[in-house]
Amino acid sequence: MEKVTIIGTGCAGLTAAIYTARANLQPLVLTGVMPGGLLTTTSIVENFPGFPEGIDGFELMTRMQKQAERFGARIKFGTVEAADLSRRPFALTVDGERVESRTIIIASGAGHRHLGLESERLLENRGVTYCATCDGALPIFRNQPLAVVGGGDSACEEATYLTRFGSVVYLIHRRDSLRASRIMAERALANPKIQPVWDSVVTEILDAQQGKVTGVRLKHVKTHAATTLSCAGVFVAIGHVPSTAVFKGQLELDPNEYVVPKRGTETSVPGVFVAGDCADHVYRQAVTAAGQGCAAAIDAERYLATQNV
Ligand code: NAP
> How far away, in angstroms, is 241 Cα from ligand 1 center?
11
First to last CA, the chain: 12
Output the CA 275–ligand 1 centroid distance in Å. 20
Output the residue whose Cα is nearest ligand 1's atom 37: 153
Question: In angstroms, what is the span from residue 229 Cα to ligand 1's centroid?
Answer: 22
Q: Of the residues 11, 56, 95, 134, which is catalytic?
A: 134
Ligand 1, CB within 6 Å, residue ranges: 47, 113, 115, 149-155, 157, 174-175, 179, 181, 201, 237-240, 284
CATH 3.50.50.60 fits 2-111+241-306, yes or no: yes
CA neighbours within 13 Å on the CB side: how many for 22?
10
Cβ(57)–Cβ(43) under 8 Å? yes
Is residue 66 scored above 70 in pLDDT?
A: yes
- Does residue 134 have an active-site annotation? yes
The CATH number, out of the four listed (3.40.50.460, 3.90.950.10, 3.50.50.60, 3.40.50.720), of the domain defined by the range 114-236: 3.50.50.60
Q: Catalytic site residue 294?
A: no
- The answer to whether residue 199 is catalytic is no
Report whether pLDDT(229) > 90: yes
Mutation probe of ligand 1 site: the residue of 47, 112, 115, 154 with most atoms within 8 A of C-beta: 154
Q: What is the pLDDT of residue 297?
A: 98
Comparing 281 with 191, the larger pLDDT belongs to 191
> What are the domain boundaries of the chain?
2-111+241-306, 114-236
What's the whole-model pTM score? 0.81
pLDDT at residue 95 above 80? yes
Residue 256 φ/ψ region, left for φ over 0, alpha for ψ in the -120 to 50 degree band, beta for the rest: alpha
Query: Crossing angle, helix 11-22 and helix 286-306, to 10 degrees?
Result: 40
Nearest to 302 by CA among 23, 22, 76, 110: 23
Task: Assess whether pLDDT exceeds 90 at residue 134.
Answer: no
Least confident residue range of 34-43, 66-75, 80-89, 204-213:
34-43
Full DSSP string of the chain: -EEEEEE--SHHHHHHHHHHHHTT---EEE--SSTT-GGGG-SEE--STT-TT-EEHHHHHHHHHHHHHHTT-EEE---EEEEE-SSSSEEEEETTEEEEEEEEEE---EEEPP---HHHHHHBTTTEES-HHHHTTSGGGTTSEEEEE-SSHHHHHHHHHHTTT-SEEEEE-SSSS--S-HHHHHHHHT-TTEEEETTEEEEEEETTTTTS--EEEEEETTT--EEEEE-SEEEE---EEES-GGGTTTS-B-TT--B---STTB-SSTTEEE-STTT-SS---HHHHHHHHHHHHHHHHHHHHHTT-
Q: In this predicted structure, which of 22-26, 41-45, 64-68, 178-182 has the lowest mean pLDDT?
A: 41-45
Model pLDDT for residues 257-295, shown as the tens digit of each residue: 999 999 999 999 999 999 999 999 888 889 999 999 999
What proportion of the chain, given as a percentage, has pLDDT over 70? 99
Q: For residue 309, what pLDDT band results from cuts at 50, 70 and 90?
A: low
Mean confidence (pLDDT) of the chain: 96
Ligand 1 mutation target, pool 170, 197, 284, 288, most atoms within 8 A of CB: 284
Which atom of ligand 1 is nearest to 46's Cα?
A: 41
Do domains 2-111+241-306 and 114-236 share one topology? The answer is yes
